Each structure stands twice: as C-alpha cells, then as structure tokens.
Amino acid sequence: MGDPNNIFVLTGAGVSAESGLGTFRDRGGIWARFDPMKLATPEAYAADPDTVLDFYDHRRRGVIAAEPNAAHVALARAEARLAARGGRLFLCTQNVDDLHERAGSRAVVHMHGELLKACCTVCGTVTPWRDDLDRASICPACGGVGRMRPDVVWFGEMPMHLDAIEDALAAADLFVAAGTSGAVYPAAGYVREARAHNIPTCEINLEPSDNADAFDDARYGPASTALPRFLADLGL
Ligand code: APR
C-alpha cells in the first residue's frame, strides 16, 4: 500500500476502552447491564426523562474523569502529520466522548452526537452540557423549561453528518475502522462502501469484528498499541 494521503478513520467504543469508558457489546458492556430500549430511545426519554437523564449524567461524569489514551493521541498526531504533507485524516467517530478532541484531534465528526452537549427539544439549540441536567433545565435560547436532552443519537434516530461522511469516504485512499464491533449501521456498512470504491481497508480491533471478512487487512490487539503501530508503519 503506497503512502495514503487521504485516510478515513472510523472509531468506536474500543478506542476509548483503555481510558476506562465502557464499550457496549463486550462481555459486561453497557448494553449487557442496561436496556437500550429503556435508556437510548426518544420514547424512553418521553416516558421517563429523569431516568434517561440520570443514565447520561453518569456516563458524562465518567467522560469528564477519563483521559485520552495512546490511540487518541496517535490519531491526533497522524492528523497533523498528514496535514503537513498536504493530506487529510477524516476522523469519523461513533463515540460520544470528547477524548479525540482532548488528545488534539482538530476535526472530529461525531455521527452519534456528543455527550458533553445538550439540545433543546423545542427549538433544537445545542449548548455545552457540563453540569447535570435536571427536569428544571432551561433552554438558553427559547427559555423552555425542562426540555433539554443529551445531544446524542438514540436508536431510531438519524445519525449526524451523513453527507460529509459519504463525501469523505468516496475521496479516501485508505479506510480504517478501529475499536468497533461493526454491529450498528450505517457505520457498519462503511467498509463495504470503501471496497465498492476500491479503497484499501484495515480493521484494528481487540478481536475480529462482525465485519472482519470485509477488510483487506487487520491488526488485532489493544487500540492503545495496535493503532499507534499501524499509523507509525504509514510514517504517521
Ligand atoms: N482495543 C481495541 N478494541 C477494543 C478494545 C481495546 N482495548 N476493547 C474492546 N474493543 C473492541 C471490541 O472487541 C468490540 O469489537 O471494540 C469493539 C466495541 O464494540 P461495541 O461495544 O459494539 O461499540 P461500538 O462498535 O462503538 O458500538 C457502535 O452502538 O450502541 C451504539 O451508539 C452506540 O456508538 C455505539 C454504537
């Protein structure tokens, strides 16, 4: 594989696992302990907003207490090194934490939203969300009381930034998926779209994902060592 200059990187919960943030489908994962249909759907929020807000407050406190790991740092460094040689690293993450940004990544596309942001269910305004939201939270834009929700994509909702993602995918000369089980679409379909564009693909994961057969190449091991090594092999 020649030196790629336009790399599309898709990350999942496995990239933040070594920072202490839970994955979803591993043994003991978040969805093994909590029912997503009761916590991660618009219907769940409408039926029991306090329980949903408590769940996301707890996860957000975990994100604030976490630190980026070597995988996040390596991606930020690769973004800068690619830019310095006129290339681009398009970082599309399914994660709702801000560890990519805190590691120094400058362009992060959060297709499942961001836990450190809240949005008003009346006017749609998105604001930073650092303190726990309770039912009395007031929208700073429209003054609506108690109508703020986490700015994350719930099951049954459309992921964000899909047009930009599709454009970046078509323009890439290397597709890398790191720390994702390949269980949730549309993200899980991106490797096949890359293959359809004859783009080389590589999976970097603790173990083969549901999509393992679709990848040309794979590096298995913890993201904090496998991802920096992979990027170093590319001179990044
Ligand atoms: N290093 C690399 N990979 C790891 C590590 C690690 N230290 N720990 C776990 N993994 C791998 C697991 O083997 C698994 O394949 O990361 C993957 C995590 O998969 P999931 O828990 O399914 O997380 P993800 O793929 O990001 O889920 C996608 O599902 O519920 C939704 O919105 C949620 O964004 C999430 C989406």
The predicted pLDDT at position 213 comes to 98
123 marked as binding residue: yes
**Which of 19, 72, 181 most suits a substitution to test ligand 1, by most atoms within 8 Å of the C-beta?**
181
Q: How confident is the model at residue 136 (pLDDT cuts 50, 70, 90)?
A: low
Q: Mean pLDDT for the chain?
A: 95
The rounded Å distance from CA 104 to ligand 1 centre is 22
177-197 mean pLDDT:
97
Of 50, 34, 20, nearest to 155 by C-alpha is: 34
Share of the chain above pLDDT 90, in %: 89
The rounded Å distance from CA 206 to ligand 1 centre is 9
Q: Which residue's alpha carbon is nearest to atom 4 within ligand 1?
A: 14
Atom of ligand 1 nearest to the CA of 181: 15
97 marked as binding residue: yes
Its ipTM equals 0.99
Task: Report DSSP letters for 58-125, one per residue.
Answer: HHHHHHHH----HHHHHHHHHHHHHHHTT-EEEEEE---SSHHHHHT-S-EEETTEEEEEEEETTT--
In whole angstroms, give the CA distance from residue 139 to residue 228.
41
Q: In what order do the strands lie in the sheet with 148-152?
A: 126-128, 113-120, 148-152
64 marked as binding residue: no
**Report field, pTM of the whole predicted structure over 0.95:** yes
- Examine the pLDDT at 1 and tell me if it is beyond 60: no
137 marked as binding residue: no
- Give the model confidence (pLDDT) of 205-225 as tens digits: 999 999 999 999 999 999 999
- Give the model confidence (pLDDT) of 69-102 as tens digits: 999 999 999 999 999 999 999 999 999 999 999 9
189-217 mean pLDDT:
97
Sequence letter at residue 14: G
Task: Report DSSP letters for 7-31, one per residue.
Answer: EEEEE-HHHHHTTT---SSSTT-HH
129-149 mean pLDDT:
78
The rounded Å distance from CA 14 to ligand 1 centre is 4
- Examine the pLDDT at 19 and tell me if it is beyond 90: yes
Query: Using a 6 Å CB cutoff, which residues line ligand 1?
Result: 12-14, 17-18, 23-26, 29, 94, 112, 179-181, 183-184, 205-207, 209, 222-223
- Are 39 and 54 a contacting pair, CB within 8 Å? no
Atom of ligand 1 nearest to the CA of 30: 21
Q: How confident is the model at residue 134 (pLDDT cuts 50, 70, 90)?
A: low
The rounded Å distance from CA 199 to ligand 1 centre is 23
SS3 of residue 216 by DSSP:
coil
The predicted pLDDT at position 2 comes to 63
165 marked as binding residue: no
**Which of 100, 205, 225, 230 most suits a substitution to test ligand 1, by most atoms within 8 Å of the C-beta?**
205
SS3 of residue 6 by DSSP:
strand
- Give the model confidence (pLDDT) of 29-65 as tens digits: 999 999 999 999 999 999 999 999 999 999 999 999 9
Greater pLDDT, 95 or 1: 95
190 burial (CB, 10 Å; 0-12 / 13-18 / 19+) is buried
